[in-house]
Structure formats: structure tokens, C-alpha cells
Homo-oligomer: A and B are copies of this chain.
Amino acid sequence: MTVEIICVGTELLLGNIVNTNAAFLAEQCAGLGLECYYQTVVGDNAARLSLCLQTAMDRSDVILLSGGLGPTEDDLTKETVARLCGRELLLHEPSRKAIQEYFERRGIELTDNNWKQAMLPEGCIVMENHNGTAPGVILETEKSKIVLLPGPPGELVPMFRESVAPYLAGLTEKVICSQTVKLCGVGESKAEMMIRDLIDTQTNPTIATYAKTGEVHIRVTASAQDSKACGKLIKPVVKELKNRFQNLIYSTEEDATLEKVVVDLLRANDLTVTCAESCTGGLLAGRLVNVPGVSDVLKFSVITYSNKAKRKLLGLRKPMLQKYGAVSPQTAEEMSRGAAALAKADVAVAITGLAGPDGDGEEKPVGLVYIAVNVKGNVTVEEYHFSGNRSKIRESAVSAALVLLRSCVLEYFSEITFGKKK
């Protein structure tokens, strides 16, 4: 089955916003096993939207539209689709009531144009919007299924997951399910090499790798008569992936992030953590604070950008800094020791490096970063060479620090298990 995505909005045509809806819908459709060959962006203009719709209806089974369901005159996606399909717009009483309640709860006065959002094409399937006022619409015509979604990602994403995904899954005789295996600490090409034989012989389930910053995701997708049968097909493949990648896998949960897994690992082992950041300037702590409830493990953290701060807060000695320089394995190690002592934390991560655009005037190249992880006094230091501009280097350093932090904590506990430490 083929699907096509049309995003409606003048702000997209003017480049005021980046089209994250298209990327989300495309990724979801690929996960459902649908073939997507075209994406289009068109403005809030009835004639041009009609043209795009007509073309899409001639070549695709399913058309996903986002945007243009708002209450103003500019919003005309629903009106245009209805006209093209020869359907009347009728007042949909449950939607009218939902809109009224939405405004009453917020104590906001309704204006007349709000009722426009309750006018829906006759014979359509209505999808409730729990995060806004515009209901979603599915219109089934002889040629194609047309799905209308609201433009704001905060409304589109949950509506897709709740209503559209099950609908699309139900269109085929078969069910499509997938599971993502998330790796860190390994590059995409190496990961692919390690499972080349599996990829080459794949039929059902299929196996695909996706590179993310500092991570690789492997998606295993099966198609079968029901989800139980899909699970049976996926399970042995995921088992084999676990067998091959071992600890490089940080999660097989759909909504897990690397920082969440790291925070959970620390919490499960009753460890507190602190960071001492130089070139990343707070972004590592910022990633950890992404995780709700991080306060159980992160009490505080410091950004020691200058040498003076490294000396004053972390107790580094001047001769050492002069001898090795601020960007050195020795400085990274001492920063991690100083941070652990300052914060009285079990684990400390220190980052020092050159994010550019200028070098340090000496022989050290831009992109050189040292990361030290101190787990209860056991310090591991790694050297990295990142490429890209200043912000890319800093982003890569933060991802690498999370990966190293995770592996050092895992290693510490595996060594304890083997009786080396206590």
C-alpha cells in the first residue's frame, strides 16, 4: 500500500518553521510497512491544494494531510478536501460539544469562527483531539483514504498514535509490528558489519539500521496475521541481536532515551552523579535534567570554563595545568576527582576539549576532547576526535560522555560481581 504526505501551511513555504511533521509521519509510515514516494508542501490556497490533492489521489492509496484545520478564514484544508470529494460539511454535535467544553474549562470566551471546527464532511470518520480543538478526519473515497490531521505537532503526534496508526494497520489483511533495538558506543557501519549476514538474508522480519548522534537504532519489522504472530517472528531476531551486541544495547523500549537509561541505571544502583564541564558548558547536565525525577541522582554540577575555576572549585594544581594544559587526559582525570569530592557524589563525569572555531594556539587540534568518568575513585579517561562545527563537536562530546558513563558504571558492577572490587 502506498502513502503520500501533504503538509499545508504558508509558514512552511516561507521557511519560518522546519517541517518536523513530515519527518514524523514518514518515519511512522515506514514503521507500519507503508511505501511513501512523495511528500509535498503547499500553502493555504484552495486552488493549489486541490491540484496537489488530485495528483496524490491519482497515484497513492492513502493521503496524509497536516495543517489548515484551524478556525480562521485561512484554514481551508477540510473545505478543499470536502469539495474535491463532493461531500457536504455538516455540524458534528459531539465535536461542537467538545469545543464548547474545551473553552469553558479554560474560561476563554468562544468566538463565532470556533464553530467552523465542528463542521465535518458527511460520512467521515471523526478522530477526537485531546490536545486542541480541531478534530481529525478520515475520508474514504473510491480512489483513496484521505486523513486530515491538525498542524501543531503537540496535537498531530498523539492523534496519529491513538487513531491513525491503528486505522492504517487495519487497512491491510496483515498486521505490521516493529521493535527498535538501541545501541550506543558503536558506529553505524561497524554495527551493520556485525549483522551483515542477518541483513542480507532478511525477508520477514526486515532489519534496518538508523544512525543518530552517538547512537545506532536497529528496527526489526515483521508482518503477520496478528500482533502475536508478529511477536513470534520478531523475538528470535531481537534475541540474536542481543547476543551479538551485548552491552552495546542500551534499550529495546520505544520511548527510552540514552539519558533516561543512564539516570535509571544510576538510580537502580543508588549512585549519585555530578559533572564538571568545560567545552560542553552545561549541555551534559542539561541532557541529564531532560529526565523527570533526575533530582534523585543529580544534586549539583559545575561548569568550570576557565583554569581558575578548575583550580578553585575542583582543586586542580597550577603546575599540573601548566605542564599538561587544560585539554589533556591528566586535567580530565583531576577534574573528575575534584568534582566527585566537591559534590560528594559517587560518580563524576569531566569533559575538557577544544570546540573551536579556534585552536588553543598550540599543537592541539579543534575537535580534541578528553572525557573522564570517576566511579567511586576508579577513573577511566578516553580521548576523542570529533569533527564538524562548534555546536556539532559539543553535541558529539555530550553523547560520548553519556555512553562512557554508562559503560563505566556497568563495568564497575560487573567487576564487583567477579570479586575484584568491593
| A341 CB contacts on chain B under 8 angstroms | none
Complex partner residue of A279 from B37, B45, B289, B304, CB under 8 angstroms: B289
A357 interfacial contact with B, CB 8 Å: yes
| A394 CB contacts on chain B under 8 angstroms | 286, 289
Q: A12-B39, A15-B23 are in contact. List 15 more A-B contacts (CB 8 A).
A: A13-B26, A13-B37, A15-B26, A16-B210, A154-B388, A277-B282, A280-B289, A281-B282, A281-B285, A290-B391, A292-B356, A300-B302, A300-B303, A300-B304, A300-B305
Q: Say whether chain A's binding surface is mostly helix, strand, loop, or mixed.
A: mixed
Known contacts being A37-B42, A277-B282, A284-B282, is A390 close to B292, with CB within 8 Å? yes
| A277 CB contacts on chain B under 8 angstroms | 282
A301 interfacial contact with B, CB 8 Å: yes
Contact A303 B290 (CB under 8 A): no
Taken together as a complex, chains A and B put the C-alpha atoms of A285 and B303 apart, in Å, by 8
CB pairs A–B below 8 angstroms (25 shown): A12-B22, A13-B26, A15-B24, A15-B30, A16-B27, A18-B18, A18-B19, A39-B41, A154-B389, A281-B285, A281-B301, A282-B285, A282-B289, A282-B303, A283-B283, A289-B303, A292-B358, A298-B306, A300-B302, A300-B306, A300-B309, A300-B313, A301-B302, A301-B305, A302-B302
| A303 CB contacts on chain B under 8 angstroms | 275, 282, 285, 289, 298, 300-303
User: For the complex formed by this chain, how many copies does it contain in all?
Assistant: 2
A48 interfacial contact with B, CB 8 Å: yes
| A299 CB contacts on chain B under 8 angstroms | 305-306, 308-309
Taken together as a complex, chains A and B put the C-alpha atoms of A411 and B309 apart, in Å, by 29
Contact with B along A255-283 (1 / 0, CB 8 A): 00000000000000000000101011111
| A119 CB contacts on chain B under 8 angstroms | none
Contact with B along A108-151 (1 / 0, CB 8 A): 00000000000000000000000000000000000000000000
A181 to B: closest C-beta gap in Å: 16
